[in-house]
Amino acid sequence: MGSIMMRIELKINGSTMSAEVDDDTPLLWVLRDTLKLKGTKYGCGIGQCGACTVIVDGQTARSCSLAATAAVGLEVTTIEGLSANGDQFVQKAWQDIRVPQCGYCQSGMIMAATALLGKKLFPTDEDIDREITNICRCGTYDRIRAAIHAAANGRT
Amino acid sequence: MNTDRRSLLKSIAAVSAGVVFPVTMTGCRVADPKPSDSVELFSWVVMMPDNTVRIRIPQSDIGQGVVTTLSQVLAEELDLKWSSIRPEFFDPLTNLKRNNVYVYTCTESSWSADRLFNPMRMAGAQIRQMLLTAAARRSGFDVADLRTEESSIILPGGGRQSYAEVASAASHIAPPHPSRVKLKDPADYRLIGKPIKRLDLVPKTTGKLEYGIDVDLPGMLYAVVQQSPVYGGKLVSFDEQAIAKMPGVVGVVRIAAGPCGLNGPLADGGEDYGMDDAVAVVADSFWRARKALLALPIEWDDGEFAHTSSESIMADLVSRAGRPQPVVREAGDFAGSIGRAHRVIEADYSYPFMDAMPLEPINCTAWLNSDGLQVWASTQFAQEAHRLAAVTAGLPPERVQFNLPYVGGGFGRRCQNEYVSQAVQIAKAIPGKPIKMIWTREEMMARGYPPPITISRFKAGLDEKGNVIAWFNRVISGTAPDQSYGPARLPHYVPNLRIEYARVKTPQPFGWMRGVAFTQHVWMNQGFQDELAVAAGRDPVDLYMDLLDEGSVPTDLKGRDVAIRRIRHMRAVLKRVCQIADWETPLSQGRGKGVSVSDFSYWDTYHTGTASSVVEVTLDGKGGLRVDHVYVVMNCGRILNPEVVRGQVEGSIFWAITTALYGKITLKDGRVVQRNFQDHNVARLATACRNIVVELVESDDHPAGVGEDAVPIVMTAMLNAIYDAGGPRIRSLPLSDHVLSFRKQDGSDALPGKPSGNL
């Protein structure tokens, strides 16, 4: 009710993409259903679980709780933007440590880890605990922690 | 009953050999049809012209890795080149037409390895024989002179024929009878037991893997549902006009209550709990459908549970615990022996409703058109989903195609397919368009399938030496299948014992949440045993070892060999975990450790792992708790892939920590109080234990399930550790309802026999 439909231009993974959206539509649903970037997942819709995590101007954002209109003019990176073949250094660490089980949360986890590693060369366990609040129901936390350290150490 | 081999024989007889069946699309690779010169062999594999091989996975992959482990099993006997494998999920319609050729397709009870190890090895070996026979005919050599390697036939002299070259001829050869097929010597395994990386590992790090929620079809519409907020409530009316003009709204659909399919095969205790009335708003986007649903005025009749709450249910269970209930196991003379006991200990334990909360929200896409019905859903029970979809649509099963995508977490929730019925009802109301129905997280939490709320009353007698001479346990639980195995299928044989078990009807239907009744009762049983050890001044390991006494098993017991094997396995893993956890060494003030051991033996021939855990915790005295170390030793028979098994154990550890810390769903006025993760936390990195040691026992036994075994023992060890650290005795969950300060020195706040509340 009361929302206005508008056309917006978003900068996503280095490309400019255009979408017609209601002005209150969360970025998540524009990514998934309008732009067909389905690697970003819906989990809770209230910014708790982090399955929808993307990077906006270098900072993590819960895309379920950010209106797409608010991302206009900002650089948005989704899981699809990290690499063409899964060989970005965090993705590779995730593969080496064999983190995923069902895999549903891992796009968000990898985005959160990428943002953390963008801010800190060698995040401590405490940094990880504080910065990565995403939920994994399969319980891959131990490997997520190991993969973040491995990614930091293996970065060239 | 283990009928793997026999049922496979039966299903083989039912499949006419040599027929190339039409290619079917399954959810694994919807957009990737097979070329017309691909060849299906014996329902299990499809040989592609480029010598890659599609393996049919007859289970859902919910994160437990069956796409990889079951491929390892079949590829081992078929001598496939690992890099040539392209797994795809089975097609329920094919399975139906071919009389259950895939043997076991419900993904529950950690059964994939147990039930499919023999059939898939045999299928691989039979197909290999068919290919060898075809190659022999073509080359003029004897079969005995040929061998196989890396998806090729090797001829004498070193010539090679690819499987693809002989596949077409092989498809016309009858599969050999299993009695004439020799399976590999395990010593020669090059895939089974190896830590092979998951076949879907890379796409699970790139966002490219397709789950049910990612299905995308031309012209697709979106539906969001609201079910009766009170279990058993009825829809009275809704005012469609109020939202008719909202942008993108296509319509409002009334979804009728009714049967919603079994949550497991009947023989395994499957039941249809039915579903309630619901309303769906259909729109051109999820967001618009959701907004319109929030704005839709709906009137409900709340029905018989309108005033039911967790509190009123628990009060009823407590009152029933004061009266005799049906006896499910009895030995000796409990009443007489308790009177002779040197010490009598009593306690009430309780367990709240909980929710599995897989991270991929419930969803289903359905498309009804003149060709029939197409359905896509992440489910643990695709066979039943297919049947339910056909029944709901009023179509013969052969006009319904069910596509099984990857599943973003199951944990038992997706054994129930009620959402498939809902999506098909929506598709019937708006035919000709594919419609993707997605539940919000709020809807998921409001409509979970919990383990039953339960009270467990214990009374035990100790002799002068601290031996348990009498054991009484009265359990009353809410809606559930018969789970009397929880209290009754103890591995030990106390001479005087009585177990009573009863169920009452509670509002929610039951769900097979990871760990099921073992999580409830292993904790309650061994929490109480830990109390007995403390009362007797004994080390709990010493008490467990005494209870796990082969000599105590009655000589005339039916299944005595099983009982003895259980005891031996448990003693072995318990002994080992105490070694690696350095059990004997005491911890400093404020720290404590607990121990637990169990198997998952629901009944005599249920193949199960055996596991033991030691957990160390620290209490900060201000209510703070830290889980410092978790040790698990597990014997799960033959290990198909040690890295996959380790992942399952690690996952079970965090499942146990979440269950202990936060696991609780509260009913008030028939409604679930918790709305989303802000009301129901789960373990995250900050709460996750950083020091985990998992040791897997090498074994040649038949592979056993590993998806749940570590849940009950880790939770039990963790809760016992809190007491050992000087904290309160935990007799109810979750910990977030307790104050974890240190006990008073006089013990006045820790007396056994005082049931803890907090429900």
Six token digits for residue B560: 């005595």
Give the distance, in angstroms, between the CA of residue B427 and the centroid of all CA atoms in the same chain: 30
pLDDT in tens, B70-129: 999 999 999 999 999 999 999 999 999 999 999 999 999 899 999 999 999 999 999 999
Using the beta-carbon criterion (under 8 Å), do A44 and B204 form an inter-chain contact? no
| Residue B757 in this model has a pLDDT that exceeds 50 | no
Average the pLDDT over B359-377 and give the result: 97
Q: Which of B475, B273, B453, B502 is nearest to B354 (CA)?
A: B453
Say whether residue A103 is in contact with chain B using an 8 A CB cutoff: yes
Which residues of chain A lie closer than 8 angstroms to B210, CB-CB?
38
Q: What is the pLDDT of residue B2?
A: 39
Which residues of chain A lie closer than 8 angstroms to B361, CB-CB?
42-43
Please report, for residues B57, B60, B449, the alpha-carbon distance to residue B105 in angstroms, rounded to integers and kept in the order given. 9, 8, 21
Using the beta-carbon criterion (under 8 Å), do A25 and B692 form an inter-chain contact? no
> What is the rounded CA–CA span in Å between residue B124 and residue B80?
9
Q: Which of B609, B613, B602, B582 is nearest to B719 (CA)?
A: B613
Q: What is the pLDDT of residue B608?
A: 82
How many CB contacts within 8 angstroms connect chain A with chain B? 183
- What are phi and psi for residue B65, nearest 5 degrees? 90, 20
The percent of residues in chain B predicted with pLDDT above 70, rounded, is 94
Say whether residue B692 is in contact with chain A using an 8 A CB cutoff: yes
Say whether residue B285 is in contact with chain A using an 8 A CB cutoff: yes
| Among the partner residues B62, B209, B650, nearest to A142 by beta-carbon distance | B650
pLDDT in tens, B25-39: 333 333 356 778 899
Using the beta-carbon criterion (under 8 Å), do B216 and A38 form an inter-chain contact? yes
> What is the rounded CA–CA span in Å between residue A102 and residue B198?
11
| Residue B570 in this model has a pLDDT that exceeds 70 | yes
Using the beta-carbon criterion (under 8 Å), do A43 and B291 form an inter-chain contact? no
> What is the rounded CA–CA span in Å between residue B152 and residue B344?
70
Using the beta-carbon criterion (under 8 Å), do B655 and A145 form an inter-chain contact? no
The minimum CA-CA distance between B395 and chain A, rounded to whole Å, is 30
| Among the partner residues B359, B653, B682, nearest to A104 by beta-carbon distance | B359
The minimum CA-CA distance between B654 and chain A, rounded to whole Å, is 5
Query: One digit per residue, pLDDT tens: chain A, 156 residues?
Result: 578 999 999 999 999 999 999 999 999 999 999 999 999 999 999 999 999 999 999 999 999 999 999 999 999 999 999 999 999 999 999 999 999 999 999 999 999 999 999 999 999 999 999 999 999 999 999 999 999 999 999 986
Q: What is the pLDDT of residue B753?
A: 40
Count of positions (residues) in chain B: 759
Q: Where are the beta strands (DSSP E) in chain A?
A: 5-12, 15-22, 53-56, 59-62, 75-77
Which residues of chain B lie closer than 8 angstroms to A133, CB-CB?
684-686
Q: What is the pLDDT of residue A2?
A: 72
Q: What is the pLDDT of residue B27?
A: 33
Within a 10 A sphere around the Cβ of B750, how many other Cβ atoms? 16
Six token digits for residue B315: 């009060």
Using the beta-carbon criterion (under 8 Å), do A91 and B206 form an inter-chain contact? yes
| Among the partner residues A79, A137, A145, nearest to B357 by beta-carbon distance | A137
Q: How confident is the model at residue B265 (pLDDT cuts 50, 70, 90)?
A: very high
Using the beta-carbon criterion (under 8 Å), do B682 and A140 form an inter-chain contact? no
The percent of residues in chain B predicted with pLDDT above 90, rounded, is 91
Q: How high is the mean pLDDT of chain B? A: 93
Q: Which of B391, B395, B388 is nearest to B372 (CA)?
A: B395
CA torsion sign for A18, A22, A23, A25 is negative
The minimum CA-CA distance between A130 and chain B, rounded to whole Å, is 7
> What is the rounded CA–CA span in Å between residue B482 and residue B479?
9
pLDDT in tens, B288-343: 999 999 999 999 999 999 999 999 999 999 999 999 999 999 999 999 999 999 99
* Domain B515-742 CATH assignment equals 3.30.365.10: yes
Question: Pairing state of beta strands B496-503 and B468-477?
Answer: parallel
Using the beta-carbon criterion (under 8 Å), do B205 and A143 form an inter-chain contact? no
pLDDT in tens, B172-210: 999 999 999 999 999 999 999 999 999 999 999 999 999
Please report, for residues A17, B23, B202, B221, B438, the alpha-carbon distance to residue B30 in angstroms, rounded to integers and kept in the order given. 27, 12, 19, 19, 20
Which residues of chain B lie closer than 8 angstroms to A105, CB-CB?
359
| Residue B563 in this model has a pLDDT that exceeds 50 | yes
Six token digits for residue B408: 């973003």
Q: What is the pLDDT of residue B1?
A: 34
Q: What is the pLDDT of residue B602?
A: 82
Using the beta-carbon criterion (under 8 Å), do A98 and B643 form an inter-chain contact? yes
Give the distance, in angstroms, between the CA of residue B735 and the centroid of all CA atoms in the same chain: 24
A-contacting residues in B 13-72 (Cβ below 8 Å)? 61-65
Q: What is the pLDDT of residue B751?
A: 44
Using the beta-carbon criterion (under 8 Å), do A45 and B676 form an inter-chain contact? yes
The one-letter code for the residue type at B315 is A
A-contacting residues in B 223-282 (Cβ below 8 Å)? 246-247
| Residue B13 in this model has a pLDDT that exceeds 60 | no
- What are phi and psi for residue B331, nearest 5 degrees? -150, 150
| Residue B650 in this model has a pLDDT that exceeds 90 | yes
* Residue B232 half-sphere exposure toward CB, CA atoms < 13 A: 13
Q: What is the pLDDT of residue B22?
A: 30
Say whether residue A89 is in contact with chain B using an 8 A CB cutoff: no
Say whether residue A121 is in contact with chain B using an 8 A CB cutoff: no
Which residues of chain B lie closer than 8 angstroms to A3, CB-CB?
247, 291
* Domain B212-304+359-446 CATH assignment equals 3.40.50.300: no
> What is the rounded CA–CA span in Å between residue B346 and residue B746?
19
The minimum CA-CA distance between A73 and chain B, rounded to whole Å, is 23
> What is the rounded CA–CA span in Å between residue B80 and residue B152?
8
The minimum CA-CA distance between B63 and chain A, rounded to whole Å, is 3
Q: What is the pLDDT of residue B745?
A: 73
Q: Which residue from B minimizes the CA distance to A27?
A: B287
Cβ(B252)–Cβ(B280) under 8 Å?
yes
Q: Which residue from B minimizes the CA distance to A138?
A: B651
Which residues of chain A lie closer than 8 angstroms to B223, CB-CB?
none
Average the pLDDT over B616-624 and give the result: 95
SS3 per-residue string spanning B606-644: CCCCEEEEEEEEEECCCCCEEEEEEEEEEECCCCCCHHH
ipTM for the assembly: 0.98
| Residue B418 in this model has a pLDDT that exceeds 60 | yes
Which residues of chain A lie closer than 8 angstroms to B211, CB-CB?
41, 104
> What is the rounded CA–CA span in Å between residue B291 and residue B452?
34
Q: Which of B358, B488, B109 is nearest to A105 (CA)?
A: B358
| Among the partner residues A86, A106, A142, nearest to B688 by beta-carbon distance | A142
Delineate the domains of chain A, giving CATH numbers in brackets: 5-81 (3.10.20.30), 89-154 (1.10.150.120)
Average the pLDDT over B263-269 and give the result: 89
> What is the rounded CA–CA span in Å between residue B667 and residue B233?
14
Question: In this structure, what DSSP letter does residue B195 have?
Answer: -
A32-41, B351-360, B389-398, B603-612: range with lowest mean pLDDT: B603-612
- In CATH terms, B4-206 corresponds, of 3.20.20.140, 3.30.365.10, 3.40.50.300, 3.40.50.10420, to 3.30.365.10
SS3 content of chain A, % helix, strand, coil (to 5): 40, 20, 40
| Residue B750 in this model has a pLDDT that exceeds 60 | no
B-contacting residues in A 17-76 (Cβ below 8 Å)? 22, 24-26, 29, 33-34, 36-46, 48-49, 51
First to last CA, chain B: 39
| Residue B663 in this model has a pLDDT that exceeds 70 | yes
> What is the rounded CA–CA span in Å between residue B259 and residue B256?
10
Domain with CATH 3.30.365.10 in chain B: 4-206, 212-304+359-446, 515-742
